Amino acid sequence: MEIDGAGALVAGGASGLGAATARALHEAGARVVIADVDAERGEAIAAELGKRASFMEANVTEPGPVQAAVDAALEANRGLRVSVCCAGIGWAQRTAGKQGPHDLEIFHNVIKVNLLGTFNVLRLAAAAMLANEPDEGGERGVCINTASIAAFDGQIGQAAYSASKGGIVGLTLPAARDLAGRGVRVVTIAPGTFDTPLLAALPAEQRQRLGDQIPFPSRLGRPEEFAALARHVVENRMLNGETVRLDGALRMPPR
């Protein structure tokens, strides 16, 4: 998929992996719509990027705001061609322990934001892409989801988070098959331990230990590396129906 001149929606694009992806797609010539609940950061990044960038306040679990963001991306010369969902939340709690059973409402909320929110972005973006004129290779668009290696190597306390990310991995192939006949690809990236705002609050020593666990390179992943893979996924049309681990060969231990 040619990025230059395409409309790109980046949900969860106000910080971390999403912000880096928004910058990479914009640099490649896309008209980028950043959708996020954090209006202050989202508007700041849109202003930083300047022309061909805008911000839409949207919670990924709500159809109306996400549809509005999709509609904004459709205004690009070539329509909405790229959708990337990086929105998500985390939570740590054992299935049962001294404090009793896992909080069911919290489990539900993690699933709602991470899994249902991702699918909401995917379904609305894909529906819009079906109306695109196919390019010379027959392609109408590409949708990228964000899972986590916790989908495969969930640690103690990650039942909710791992279930939500495992669901994203599970929907990737059937969604790709659903859309293949219309030239829309679906790919999921499963990052390992990345240097995002979530980890920025940790002490330097703890951050160093997390990086040391990664076989090579023995450091935290950089958001720009996630963004580089997202761009490659867009440009390489043989990538479809796949979940790509981006983790430096890390396999998470139980704790």
| CATH number of 143's domain | 3.40.50.720
CA 21/CA 10 separation, integer angstroms: 8
Residue of higher predicted confidence among 170 and 1: 170
In degrees, rounded to 5, the angle at the alpha carbon of residue 122 between the alpha carbons of residues 164 and 34 is 100
Considering the domain boundaries, does residue 145 fall inside one? yes
- Measured between alpha carbons, how far is 73 from 5 in angstroms, rounded to an integer? 11
Residue 27: which residues within 8 A CB-CB, separation 6 or more? Answer: none
Query: Which residue has tokens 């949900």?
Result: 11
Rounded to two decimals, the pTM is 0.95
pLDDT tops 90 at residue 151: yes
SS3 for 70-132 is HHHHCCCCCCEEEEEECCCCCCCECCEECCEECCHHHHHHHHHHHHHHHHHHHHHHHHHHCCC
Count of beta carbons in the 10 Å neighbourhood of residue 251: 12
Of 55, 107, 119, 161, which one is the catalytic site residue?
161
In a domain, 253, yes or no: no
CA neighbor of 229 nearest in space, from 15, 17, 31, 4: 17
Q: How many domains does the chain have?
A: 1
Is residue 22, in this structure, part of any structural domain at all? yes
Query: How does pLDDT run across 74-131, given as a tens digit for each residue?
Result: 998 899 999 999 999 999 999 999 989 999 999 999 999 999 999 999 999 999 999 9
Residue 123 inside a domain? The answer is yes
Answer yes or no: is 55 within a domain: yes
pLDDT in tens, 165-218: 999 999 999 999 999 999 999 999 999 999 887 777 677 887 888 899 999 999
Structural domain contains residue 151: yes
Position 100 in a domain: yes
Pairing of strands 96-97, 53-57: unpaired
Active site residue 172: no
Q: Would you say residue 24 has pLDDT above 80? A: yes
pLDDT of residue 26: 98
pLDDT of residue 200: 72
Q: Which domain holds residue 36?
A: 7-194+223-246
Q: What is the pLDDT of residues 35-50, one digit of tens each?
A: 999 999 999 999 999 9
Residue 20 lies in a domain: yes
Q: Are 89 and 150 in contact (CB under 8 A)?
A: no
For residue 142, the model assigns a pLDDT of: 98
Question: How many Å apart are CA 149 and CA 244, to the nearest integer?
Answer: 10
Q: Is the pLDDT of residue 148 over 70?
A: yes
At residue 201, the pLDDT reads 67
